Amino acid sequence: MDKRFEPRSYEAAWQRRWTERGYFRADPRSGKPPFCIMIPPPNVTGKLHLGHALQSTLQDLLTRWKRMQGYEALWLPGTDHAGIATQLMVERQLASEGMQRRCLGRERFLERMWAWKAQYQGNIRRQLDLLGASCDWSRERFTLDDGLSRAVREAFVLLYREGLITRGEYLVNWSPVLETAVSDLEVESRTVPGHLWHIAYPVEGSGERVVVATTRPETMLGDTAVAFHPEDERYRRWAGRHAVLPLVGRRLPFVADAAVDPEFGSGLVKVTPFHDPFDFELARRHGLPGVTVIDRRGRMTEEAGEELAGLDRFAARAQVVERLREQGLLVKVEEHVHNVGHSQRGGEPIEPLVSTQWFCDVSGMAERALAASPGGALRLVPDTWDRTWENWLETIRPWCISRQLWWGHQIPAWYDEAGRVWVAHDAVEAAALAGTEPERLTQDPDVLDTWFSSALWPFSTLGWPDDTEDLRFFYPTDVLVTAYDILFFWVARMVMMGLQLTERVPFHTVHLTGLIRDAAGVKMSKTKGNVLDPEDLVEEFGADAVRFTLASLDSPGRDVPLNREQMAGYRAFGNKIWNATRFALSRLEEVEGAEVQPALDVAGLAAPERWILSRLSRTAAEVGERLAAFRFDEACHRLYHFFWGDLCDWYIELAKPALSGEAPRPRVGEVLLTVLDSSFRLLHPVMPFLTEELWQRLPGHERIHPETIVLAPYPTREAAWEDERTEAQVGALMQLVTRVRALRAEHGVAPKAAVDVWACGDPETDRFLAEQLPLVRFLCRAETLHLAPPPPETRQDAVEGVALGIALPREPAQELGEDERRKLEKELERLEEAIRQTEGRLGDDRFTSKAPAQVVEGNRSRLRELEERRRRILATMQPIG
RNA sequence: AGGCCCGUAGCUCAGUUGGUUAGAGCGCUACGUUGACAUCGUAGAGGUCAGCGGUUCAAGUCCGCUCGGGCCUACCA
């Protein structure tokens, strides 16, 4: 076995072999119970970022764990066409060639898109392979492939025919840069500094003027009314009258509306129905018309007047303000900080515009989703998201699902020559409905929001709308792992569509991870360009260390600060595992018949063997429990401490005298190998490569599984191994050893130097120590271990009811040095304080009468221990006294 | 404006249903290469658990308030 731990030397080879042998391929006819996870499909042309690596690690961990538990585990991989994001990338590429998509035409542009997709297709898979992902690639899906496209059309038609999808003209969020509508979720409001312009509007036929306040003077050209609060005494008298729109001269009726806040600005609102959501709603209530003064590219229209037409809206703003100023209508300008919607993708300001779009009424689905959660069929982990989830579903509004893009699912709606719309699965069906020829129909040029197809992902990937074997077996799926930032974009919509189209919640548990943050605490995202490449980390630390780090950082409700030092630490953990195994194998080579045992009887084993098996059983129980609770961090920590602490620091040390033949004990080799086998299996879901590599080298591993650890059973609690008494006894021994080492260090005894040690406790402890004499000597590096009260000239202490003493090797030097005395005095002070506290507690009968007996007894024994230590330290300080 | 989360060691974070002495990793200090591992070992230093008040025999943990930081949702022009 190579002395060097080098993950690169085996990781890729195992991934290849596992795949070749089909271990990850799921079979609905296996007779095992199903377990299914759908990957949140990454952008097909993207690169995996650390968020993906985190989620993939957890999904793989769950999948491997369930596979080992005997489930038919399917982790279905795939990719998303990611409409806007991908189209932008190709458009950028075109731009670098001096071209635009519109010159190219739809058909040729889409050819470019598919070519681009083909080029990067393999990227995601390659990166998931590097991480050791156990996906079933035979079932890989892409949101634009034939099957999923059919599912999208089917869903659209079904929802349309139920009246849940409609087409209409509304004020929508419009990106003048992308030239498409976007949904509410794709708009993020940013707080930006701006101005509040107070503008005077003359009142028709009165000689008076009123003042309105606005943050967007350029939109005044589209004003069609002036509104005030119905109770506002200042303006009530204007009811029924008209104001005159400056610069344009349009007559604007005064309307009273309770939505107007009389406290804000002047208490008067200029109403611009087609360029402001608030005004749009207000205008609808009052039957007011609207005027479009800004176009789809963010420029002023003809309606805005000859001089401004064609100007960008922000340039127009300056001009409007200037002209108002000239005409003496600009009353006041205030600094004003306000919220402005920006595109979540490109960051450009979003323009509210009126346009004809397709909308999905999700209110009914939202109600069903609410009924399913929380505490129902759907569980969010951590459940701190419940309130947010409910709140969002309760206030949900129609979803604008059409996009003016080319890359995506073209909407299955056709228009006949009379402009009537026919929604159907294809042109032939549409033509039949329309009573015409397919050639005479024109398909709606728009595509669907990417999230529409994503919403169908859990079942479209399994063959829906067909009644497939996979769908019957694996659906509903089990767990969804994703970051909380797409809870609404994706999770909520999957739940809603799942309930609507399949009558089932598509998964019973959603595990929400935090977002990966970089060194500066900024969240990593594609658009921000601060993405760290998981590939580099795998190269540097190995996939297992990357996985272990990410899994152990997944604490509920917290973002994940990426910490390279920690990753290096977990690479060192791999090294520890490697070397412990190397040591065990080298020692056991000569031991005849030492093999991994599928079952192991503890009868006849010595205390250290009983102890490590007991610890192993408890660890298996705890890890299983923690995994079931989605506490991957705690599961990892327990595994780490079991292997490094219990196994390496203690058991292997305890095994050395036995393995070397100095103090033989029964079946030590069997136990060591069996513990390693179980440890590897416990660790396998999080560190698949290392554990397979080492497990394969264990003599007798075939008795657990003939081929691979991937399919070996996941260890569980072995109640017969658990032994409280041995754990307590060995635990005491460990503390004793630790205290002796501390005594040595405190009194400046060189690590190599052998000392005489005295130990004396109660008869039972003494008997146990007598049995373990060679071990204790070995671990304390004691020349002689006297099971007797420490004589006065020794340096003394006490632990676990055992009085300890060590005789310093240097002679006669029994005088305490300055340092030693200071340390002991400090320790004494601490002891006195603790004794005072504990005595105080025990002297208070409110405590002794109300606290549980166990806690009271705990305090009593603690007091005894403290007093014993005080006695021993005092004895040390006056040795010959 | 609502809702949520966070504040614990130098750094990044754990701390179940309140219970003896608040933990881990990294970093730091001292010593150490005796044959698994220096990607290591042994022993240490380091915390008024943001602050104030309350409930309780007992509070990092439960409740209220304050301060500080972050996030999400929202049509105040």
The string of DSSP codes covering A371-407 is HT-SSSS-EEESGGGHHHHHHHHHT---EE-EES-SS
Q: Are A188 and A349 in contact (CB under 8 A)?
A: no
Alpha helices (runs of H) in A762-852, residue ranges in sequence order: 763-771, 773-780, 818-842, 845-850
- Cα–Cα dist A551/A535, whole Å: 17
Residue in A41, A35, A50, A55 with CA at minimum distance from that of residue A484: A55
A762 CB closer than 7 A to any strand B atom = no
- Residue A267 phi, psi (nearest 5): 90, 0
**Cβ < 7 Å from strand B, A residues 419-458:** none
Strand partners of residue A335 = A195
Query: What pLDDT, on a 0 to 100 scale, did the predictor assign at position A344?
Result: 82
A387 CB closer than 7 A to any strand B atom = yes
User: A691-743, pLDDT tens digit by residue?
Assistant: 999 999 999 999 999 999 999 999 999 999 999 999 999 999 999 999 999 98
CA–C1' span, A383 to B3, in Å? 14
**Cβ < 7 Å from strand B, A residues 35-74:** none
How far is residue A41 from each of residues A47, A56, A76, A628, measured CA to CA in Å? 12, 11, 10, 24
The ipTM assigned to this model is: 0.95
Q: Are A513 and A53 in contact (CB under 8 A)?
A: no
A569 CB closer than 7 A to any strand B atom = yes
Query: What pLDDT, on a 0 to 100 scale, did the predictor assign at position A881?
Result: 46
Task: Give Cα A452 distance to the centre of its chain.
Answer: 23
- Cα–Cα dist A454/A40, whole Å: 9
Record the tokens describing residue A403, joined without a space: 């996009």
- Cα–Cα dist A570/A547, whole Å: 9
Contacts of A237 (CB under 8 A, 6+ apart): none
- Cα–Cα dist A94/A593, whole Å: 69
**Cβ < 7 Å from strand B, A residues 742-761:** 742, 745-746, 750-752
Contacts of A146 (CB under 8 A, 6+ apart): none
**Cβ < 7 Å from strand B, A residues 216-255:** 216
CA–C1' span, A486 to B76, in Å? 28
Strand partners of residue A312 = A299
Query: What pLDDT, on a 0 to 100 scale, did the predictor assign at position A246?
Result: 86
E strand or H helix at A691: helix A688-695
Strand B positions closer than 7 A to protein CB: 2-6, 12-15, 19-21, 24-27, 30-34, 36-37, 39-44, 56-58, 72-77
- Cα–Cα dist A831/A839, whole Å: 12
A800 backbone φψ class: left, alpha, beta (φ>0; ψ -120 to 50)? left
User: Quick one: A649 exposed, middle or buried, by C-beta within 10 A (0-12, 13-18, 19+)?
Assistant: middle
User: A13-68, pLDDT tens digit by residue?
Assistant: 999 999 999 999 999 999 999 999 999 999 887 788 888 999 999 999 999 999 99
Checking each nucleotide's C1' against the CA of A227, the nearest proves to be: B77
Q: Are A799 and A872 in contact (CB under 8 A)?
A: no
Residues of chain A with pLDDT under 50: 881
Strand partners of residue A196 = A334
Residue linked to tokens 């960051």: A347
User: Quick one: A849 exposed, middle or buried, by C-beta within 10 A (0-12, 13-18, 19+)?
Assistant: exposed
- Cα–Cα dist A698/A693, whole Å: 10
Query: What pLDDT, on a 0 to 100 scale, did the predictor assign at position A40?
Result: 95
Q: Are A226 and A246 in contact (CB under 8 A)?
A: no
Checking each nucleotide's C1' against the CA of A847, the nearest proves to be: B57
**Which residue is the nearest neighbor of B36, CA to C1'?**
A583
Checking each nucleotide's C1' against the CA of A220, the nearest proves to be: B77
A628 CB closer than 7 A to any strand B atom = no
Contacts of A843 (CB under 8 A, 6+ apart): none
Interior/surface letters A579-599, b for 16+ CB within 10 angstroms, e for the rest = ebbbbbbebbeebeebbbbee
A566 CB closer than 7 A to any strand B atom = yes
CA–C1' span, A328 to B77, in Å? 21
A188 CB closer than 7 A to any strand B atom = yes
Query: What pLDDT, on a 0 to 100 scale, did the predictor assign at position A128?
Result: 95
User: Quick one: A459 exposed, middle or buried, by C-beta within 10 A (0-12, 13-18, 19+)?
Assistant: buried
CA–C1' span, A561 to B68, in Å? 21
- Cα–Cα dist A41/A29, whole Å: 26
E strand or H helix at A253: strand A251-256
Q: Is A62 helix (H, G, I), strand (E, B) or coil?
A: helix
Query: What pLDDT, on a 0 to 100 scale, did the predictor assign at position A523?
Result: 65
CA–C1' span, A734 to B45, in Å? 23
Query: What pLDDT, on a 0 to 100 scale, did the predictor assign at position A339?
Result: 83
Strand partners of residue A168 = A357
Residue linked to tokens 């204790």: A776
**Which residue is the nearest neighbor of B5, CA to C1'?**
A557
A729 CB closer than 7 A to any strand B atom = no
Residue in A69, A74, A62 with CA at minimum distance from that of residue A24: A74
- Cα–Cα dist A118/A112, whole Å: 10
Contacts of A723 (CB under 8 A, 6+ apart): A602, A610, A611, A613, A614
DSSP state of A716: -
Record the tokens describing residue A589, joined without a space: 């080579």
Checking each nucleotide's C1' against the CA of A851, the nearest proves to be: B57
Rg (CA), chain A: 37
A626 backbone φψ class: left, alpha, beta (φ>0; ψ -120 to 50)? alpha
- Cα–Cα dist A652/A641, whole Å: 14
pTM above the 0.80 mark?
A: yes
Checking each nucleotide's C1' against the CA of A264, the nearest proves to be: B76
Query: What pLDDT, on a 0 to 100 scale, did the predictor assign at position A192?
Result: 81
Residue linked to tokens 């079932």: A139
> DSSP readout, A473-536?
HH-SEEEEEEEGGGIIIIIIHHHHHHHHHHSS-SEEEEEEE--EE-TTSPBP-TTTT-PPPHHH
**Cβ < 7 Å from strand B, A residues 812-871:** 834, 837-838, 844, 846-847, 850-852, 855, 858-859, 861-862, 865
Checking each nucleotide's C1' against the CA of A216, the nearest proves to be: B77
**Cβ < 7 Å from strand B, A residues 502-541:** 517
User: A484-541, pLDDT tens digit by residue?
Assistant: 888 888 999 999 999 999 999 999 999 999 888 765 566 665 555 566 789 999 999 9
Record the tokens describing residue A789, joined without a space: 């009260």
CA–C1' span, A671 to B37, in Å? 21
> DSSP readout, A155-216?
HHHHHHHTT-EEEEEEEEEEETTTTEEE-GGGEEEEEEEEEEEEEEEEBTTTS-EEEEEES-
- Cα–Cα dist A368/A498, whole Å: 10
Q: Are A360 and A159 in contact (CB under 8 A)?
A: yes
Longest Cα–Cα distance of chain A, Å, equals 116
Q: Are A395 and A488 in contact (CB under 8 A)?
A: no
